[in-house]
């Protein structure tokens, strides 16, 4: 019986991973990945699928030579701490997290278990790693460069909303990373001659009052990336549309619930790549020896359905530059 080349490669990859799995089974359990999702299974499905698919390509099959424990924080820091502590008790082999909030909490919970982040912004500035080239410690992953692209997002929004004079900024006031992103937006706003309006948001209950603050005072909304908001994505975009505020985000997933624009790295690609780092760790590489990777490309996405609802006309010259246009 002939074996197709792709099937053969998969079998060879599985065979390469088997010695580690066999040793773990002899010790009483499979090597285990603790997957800590910042929001919910529904909002993370595309990312989780990409992560698991890449693991399959690398020879790891759940229940066969690896186990994955999924937990979901639903945007709540206290839940994230509970999950991190649980993974430490379970003695998982590696903890995979989404971004900065989860990575920082996991790092506080353990200095021994390897931690891989998929889309962290400014990992050096927020104290996740010592440097990109030499992370040190037990943490590594992929930088999302959210703060570096903040000014560019505001410039893009200005192109679509030429009358933009006042920008509302919504950020998690408890997040160090969000504070850095807000600072970048404010610097860019001064350069562009745009006023900024902010509101204190620390918990989901603060989201509606924030929009009450912005209503009638802002021409558009910049939302700093954070699991607090991602867990309430539909709620946030619905409120923005009701307030007639054009929006820009750091991830294109926001456009699925009515966001206007996004500019940032591809999260699906980031989760696929994070599986490669998990693979290296399961095979014995220390996270301290795995450099933090940076995105090589940022995607610009535009939602024309939302633009029409807001009465905006997106210039054709702008649309041809977009990587994705939702119609």
- Whether the CB-CB separation of 274 and 96 falls below 8 Å is answered with yes
Token look-up 């998982």 returns 92
- Look up residue 51 and give its two tokens: 């992560």
Mean pLDDT of 58-86: 96
The Cα 14–Cα 257 span in angstroms is 39
What residues does 97 pair with on adjacent strands? 36, 117
Query: Which secondary-structure segment (H or E) carries 25?
Result: helix 5-26
Name the nearest CA neighbour of 319 among 304, 297, 306.
304
- Whether the CB-CB separation of 200 and 220 falls below 8 Å is answered with no
Using 50, 70 and 90 to split pLDDT, how confident is the model at 146? Answer: low
- Whether the CB-CB separation of 110 and 165 falls below 8 Å is answered with no
* Pairing verdict, β 166-172 and 324-326: unpaired
Mean pLDDT of 112-139: 93
Mean pLDDT of 92-114: 95
Token look-up 């699906």 returns 268
- Whether the CB-CB separation of 278 and 96 falls below 8 Å is answered with yes
**What are the residues whose beta carbons fall under 8 Å from the beta carbon of 29, sequence distance 6 or more?**
67
Domain spanning 150-264+299-326 has what CATH number?
3.40.50.2300
What are residue 202's phi and psi, to 5 degrees?
A: -125, -15
Token look-up 């990409």 returns 50
Find how far residue 13's CA is from the centre of its chain: 28
Domain 5-144+266-289 sits in CATH 3.40.50.2300:
yes
> For 6-31, what is each residue's pLDDT tens digit?
444 444 444 444 444 444 443 458 99
Query: Which secondary-structure segment (H or E) carries 167?
Result: strand 166-172
Dihedral sign (CA 243, 198, 119, 45): negative
Instruction: Give me the percent of the chain exceeding a pLDDT of 70.
Output: 90
Average pLDDT, the chain: 89
- Whether the CB-CB separation of 51 and 111 falls below 8 Å is answered with no
pLDDT surpasses 90 at 319: yes
- Whether the CB-CB separation of 194 and 245 falls below 8 Å is answered with no
Using 50, 70 and 90 to split pLDDT, how confident is the model at 91? Answer: very high
- Look up residue 312 and give its two tokens: 């905006």
pLDDT surpasses 90 at 62: yes
Rounded to the nearest 10 degrees, what angle do helices 176-192 and 100-109 cross at?
A: 150
- Look up residue 229 and give its two tokens: 């908001």
Number of residues that this document lists for the chain: 327
150-264+299-326 has the same fold as 5-144+266-289: yes
The Cα 137–Cα 113 span in angstroms is 10
Find how far residue 60's CA is from the centre of its chain: 23
- Whether the CB-CB separation of 239 and 86 falls below 8 Å is answered with no
Give me the residue spans of the domains in the chain. Answer: 5-144+266-289, 150-264+299-326
The Cα 208–Cα 212 span in angstroms is 6
Dihedral sign (CA 100, 39, 263, 292): positive
Residue 190: per-residue pLDDT: 96
Higher pLDDT, 29 or 243: 243
- Whether the CB-CB separation of 326 and 303 falls below 8 Å is answered with yes
């Amino acid at each position: 019986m002939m074996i197709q080349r792709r099937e053969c490669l998969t079998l060879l990859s599985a065979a390469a991973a088997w010695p580690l799995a066999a040793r773990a089974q002899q010790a009483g359990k499979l090597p285990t990945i603790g997957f800590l999702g910042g929001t919910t299974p529904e909002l993370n499905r595309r990312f989780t699928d990409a992560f698991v698919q890449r693991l399959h390509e690398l020879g790891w099959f759940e229940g066969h030579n690896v186990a994955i424990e999924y937990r979901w924080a639903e945007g709540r820091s206290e839940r994230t701490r509970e999950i991190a502590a649980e993974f430490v008790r379970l003695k998982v082999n590696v903890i995979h997290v989404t971004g900065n909030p989860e990575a920082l909490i996991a790092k506080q919970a353990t200095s021994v278990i390897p931690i891989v982040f998929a889309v962290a912004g400014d990992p050096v500035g927020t104290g996740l790693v010592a440097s990109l080239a030499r992370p040190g410690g037990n943490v590594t992953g992929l930088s999302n460069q959210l703060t570096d692209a903040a000014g560019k997002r505001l410039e893009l929004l200005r192109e679509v909303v030429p009358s933009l004079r006042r920008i509302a900024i919504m950020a998690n006031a408890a997040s160090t990373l969000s504070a850095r992103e807000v600072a970048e937006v404010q610097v860019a706003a001064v350069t562009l001659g745009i006023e900024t309006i902010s509101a204190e948001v620390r918990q989901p209950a603060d989201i509606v009052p924030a929009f009450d603050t912005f209503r009638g005072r802002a021409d558009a909304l910049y939302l700093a990336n954070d699991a607090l908001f991602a867990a309430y994505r539909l709620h946030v975009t619905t409120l923005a549309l009701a307030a007639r505020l054009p929006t820009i985000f750091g991830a294109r997933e926001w456009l699925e619930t009515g966001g206007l624009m996004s500019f940032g790295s591809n999260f699906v690609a980031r989760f696929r790549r994070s599986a490669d780092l998990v693979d290296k760790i399961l095979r014995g590489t220390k996270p301290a020896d795995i450099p933090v990777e940076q995105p090589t490309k940022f995607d610009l996405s535009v939602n024309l359905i939302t633009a029409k609802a807001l009465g905006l006309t997106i210039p054709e010259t702008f649309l041809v530059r977009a990587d994705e246009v939702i119609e």
